[in-house]
Amino acid sequence: LVATQWQLIRWKFLRHRVAVAALAVIVLFYLAAIFAEFLSPYDPTHHDTDYMFMPPQRIHFRENGVWQRPFVYGMTSEMDMATFRTTYEVDPTQKFPIHFFVKGDPYTMWGIFESDIHLLGVEEGTFFLLGTDKMGRDLLSR
């Protein structure tokens, strides 16, 4: 049995588990970069001054011990007048289910296709998976 040089290289590469795992991670990063507009819940320039420096919102799957579809709780902000810092508290009375393929901010995919469908999002309320920056922009979208 005679193998070409490329077959030998491929076999050697596939036996190296760390290299295969690293290739999978690199492919995931490239796919995330290629489909960034679709994967991000908001437009990168969208800002909401009501949610500046907001911490990440936690995704919940259970409420009162019962499994449900993924959701996030609403957040309430309060300004500490002594330090002028805004603190955010989870508001369990506001519950926003996370949906797939949600209408959101319009974008142009690769400068060709116009769409407003995003992979994840909430129909009402906010969904800041990684929090916001000093201008209230979603960090996941940036």
pLDDT tens-place string over residues 57-67: 999 999 888 89
Rounded CA gap, 25 and 38, in Å?
Answer: 19
| Domains: count for the chain | 1
**Whether the predicted pLDDT of 1 surpasses 80:** no
Is residue 69 assigned to a domain? yes
Is residue 97 assigned to a domain? yes
Is residue 142 assigned to a domain? no
Helix segments in 1-142, DSSP class H? 5-15, 17-34, 36-39
Is residue 93 assigned to a domain? yes
Q: What is the pLDDT of residue 63?
A: 86
Q: What is the pLDDT of residue 79?
A: 85
DSSP class of 132 = B
Q: How many CB atoms lie within 10 A of CB 139?
A: 13
Domain span at 87: 35-122
Is residue 18 assigned to a domain? no
Instruction: Say what the pTM is.
Output: 0.76
Is residue 108 assigned to a domain? yes
Are residues 92 and 73 in contact, defined by beta-carbon separation less than 8 angstroms? yes
Q: What is the pLDDT of residue 43?
A: 87
What size, in residues, is the chain? 142
Is residue 21 assigned to a domain? no
pLDDT tens-place string over residues 65-117: 889 899 999 888 888 888 888 888 899 889 999 999 999 889 999 989 999 99
